[in-house]
Chain A
Amino acid sequence: MERIPILRMGRHLLVTIQIDMQDQTALQLQEDLATMVEKTGAHGVLIDVSALEMVDSFIGRMLVSISDISRILGATTVVVGIRPAVAITLVELGLSLGGVKTALNVERGMAMLDAARVA
């Protein structure tokens, strides 16, 4: 099974999803991230989904739960680079990803995480 790598950048964790995820991969990522946040004491998690052309309801829900889990562990999550087509699909599916912070690109996402840490 493929594993999504989690990179550490200073006080933040960076996840770039490059492949269309299967449910099992997504669950694994969720678990790995929780472990990593706890181990590194990261303040922010940045998930880049700009390579994803398709996001189904399962992945959508997973993004919400990753965000919730990180918040409990004391880290802010920002999802960046959702494509227009993906955004429209999510809305049509009725998933608004409530509680998940979003940003247009990685740069903005990073700025957001830095701002969140200061606040």
Chain B
Amino acid sequence: MRTENQRLADLLRADHENILRGWTVEYHNYAEGRGLTQNVAAEQTAILQGLEAGLRGDGDAGNFNTGPWGTLRDTLAHLSRNRAAQGETADVTSGFVLALKRPIFDALQRQASGVEGQIDVIWTTSAIVDRMAQWTISTYQKTREEIIVRQQHELMELSTPVIKLWDGVLAVPVIGTLDSSRAQMVMESLLERLVETGSELAIIDITGVPTVDTLVAQHLMKTVTAIRLMGADSIISGIRPQIAQTIVHLGIDLQGIVTKSTLADALAAAMRMTGHTVSRNGN
């Protein structure tokens, strides 16, 4: 084992209590009350153990992604994921790890100054703590990205339900901007349900779509065409006055597509088309 590793590992063990205390103080100074306080002591102990194991396994900053640092990496990744999930900021999370540097330097100072090889130990400490912080941040970011992807997916599913309105009549209330992936999703789920339920009519309600441009119109036309290919009819409802104006101004041709202003009108039309009549009971 390298001398600097040996010395640093021995130091971590000998001055364990002081380093822990110094670390906590440093962290709280940095976080200024923003940081989490639960489980911090346990996390610190685990990190110090991982660090010592890595040093004794002859690890240095250059091979941080390999064998001897496995335990430390896992500990840091776990910590980072927890903090990302609990909504702690990235700078406090990395600050927590970086706050370890100062107390180790203090411990070195207390031990003996001017000893030969001191600079090597300082350099090793600094390089490794930096790598630890980088690793923490990259895991943190990865976790946040996973959260975003999951939310996008959930949003996508939430926003495109296919509803059975009446026997043989399906409806999709589209809410939010209709981009390519949303349009694809609406089309797929609607067509699947058409086959499943054997429905002959689909109503696409765009009340919740804020703007209709040529692209959105094109997506709508595609959906309508696909529905027709399947052998069903479709009605587009929920076209607000402004949107009707936009459609005309843009010169979008909705010929051959049945359009209604409200979902209620569309349902009434659907009932007529499927041969149902609605009448009020009594006199």
Contacts and interface: CB of A to CB of B under 8 A. Distances in A.
Judge: A and B partners, yes or no. yes
Interface of A: 79-84, 86-88, 90-92, 96-97, 102-105, 108-109
Which secondary structure characterizes the binding site on chain A?
mixed
Interface string B152-196: 000000000000000000000000000000001001100110110
Interface in B191-222: 191-192, 194-195, 198-200, 222
Interface residues of B, number: 19
Interface of B: 184, 187-188, 191-192, 194-195, 198-200, 222, 225-232
Given A84-B191, A84-B192, A104 B229 contact: no
B200 A82 contact: no
A56 to B, nearest CB: 15
B226 A88 contact: yes
A102 B226 CA distance: 11
B198 A88 contact: no
A84 B195 contact: yes
Contacts of B188: 84, 88
Contacts of A82: 229-231
A92 B222 CA distance: 8
Contacts of A81: 231
Contact of A87 (B184, B198, B200, B226): B226
Nearest to B200: A104
Contacts of A90: 226, 229
A91 B228 CA distance: 10
A39 B199 CA distance: 36
A53 B200 CA distance: 22
A106 to B, nearest CB: 11
A104 B228 contact: no
B228 A102 contact: yes
A80 B222 contact: no
Of all A-B residue pairs in the complex, the 5 with the closest CB atoms, nearest first, are A84-B191, A103-B231, A102-B231, A87-B226, A87-B229
Nearest to A108: B231
A38 B230 CA distance: 28
Contact of A104 (B184, B192, B225, B230): B230
B51 to A, nearest CB: 54
A91 B222 contact: yes
A55 to B, nearest CB: 10
Nearest to B232: A104
Given A82-B231, A87-B191, A91-B226, 12 more contacts: A79-B231, A81-B231, A84-B188, A87-B226, A91-B225, A91-B229, A96-B225, A102-B230, A103-B231, A104-B199, A104-B230, A108-B231
